[in-house]
Amino acid sequence: MASLDPTNLRSAQVVVAHADCPDGIASALLLHAALPEAEVRFVEHGTPEHRDLAAVAGMVFCDIVPPAARAAEFVAAGAVVLDHHRSARDVIAAFGPRGVFADEDDERGVSGALLAYREVWVPLLGESAPARRFAELAGIRDCWLTEHPDWREATNQAAALLLWGYPELATGPGVPPSLSEAQAAAGARAVTRRADTARQIAARELLFATPRLAIYNDRERSVSDVAQAAFELHPELAVVAGFYFKVTSEGRMLLVCSLRSRPLGVDVAAIAKRLGGGGHRAAAGFGREVTTDMPNPLTLLTGLLSPNLSEAGGAQPGPR
């Protein structure tokens, strides 16, 4: 496990965190409190914002890495990179002592937020039980540790982070991020609603491109919940792919695809990496810029995923 030089941290000017992700928000909140003078930017993989990100001095990446094709520019600029996504390991290695990677096989539950706490908060501010707890809950949810005794609290926190967002929850220098009772309660209600919706989607809206691959329109951005319900309903299913569209800051349309597999099943991070994205073994994703001649999403994703799935390893699903 690498340990960052606090000198590199104190000169931070820009924090780059993973957009549209509870763990990315949690990471940004912790880093903002530890590095209050740094500008916080949220970026999503596969977008023009990520691909064209300028390499400037004083950058700290957390829960996301610089674009792989331009990693050398960010190494030269002295960037610090903290991430736990399997597909990002090679990029992080290029940063030497300024890069920290948490391997999901060796450090279960260590997400971007816990890296932010462990590698930035503690060296600069010292230990904090509330900040560590906040980070640990983010990791439990982001790493999908459903059997963890704090799973329910972790899912409630994640839902609340998405509901309220970074600007509302950002704290002052050295103040651990937290949720009010009302915010936590709103998160719990959102979790219940999302689980009910996910079960309905899993039962009615999946298109089976093959017996092992199901694709659906992820309007609710709830692919993890839908996949969990779908795996219970369909014993032969190996991968669930949810897609949605988003508009980038440049006015371009992006098709985003999120992949989920069973524990110890298909390595969807390897599939996503081949398609220009990345993630974890059981949770990954990639994007495609929408063009006028692009096939409909179901045709496109079936064509992209089916050949990769047939080559992928992992334990075969069976009756449960």
pLDDT digits 0-9 by tens, 33-79: 999 999 999 998 767 888 899 999 999 999 999 999 999 999 999 99
Q: Which of 22-31, 43-52, 269-278 has the highest mean pLDDT?
A: 22-31
When mean pLDDT is compared across 183-187, 238-242, 261-265, the lowest value belongs to 261-265
Q: Are 184 and 243 in contact (CB under 8 A)?
A: no
252 has pLDDT over 60? yes
306 has pLDDT over 50? yes
231 has pLDDT over 90? yes
Extract the tokens encoding 320: 């449960």
240 has pLDDT over 90? yes
320 has pLDDT over 80? no
| Average pLDDT score over residue span 228-256 | 90
Q: Are 237 and 210 in contact (CB under 8 A)?
A: no
pLDDT score for 121: 97
pLDDT score for 312: 60
Alpha-carbon distance 308 to 285, whole Å?
A: 14
83 has pLDDT over 70? yes
Cβ density class 17-50: b for 16+ within 10 Å, e for less: bbbebbbbbbbbbbbbbbbeebebebbbbbbebb
pTM of this prediction? 0.85
186 has pLDDT over 70? yes
113 has pLDDT over 50? yes
| Average pLDDT score over residue span 102-124 | 92
The more confidently predicted of residues 280 and 167 is 167
Q: Which amino acid is at 174?
A: G
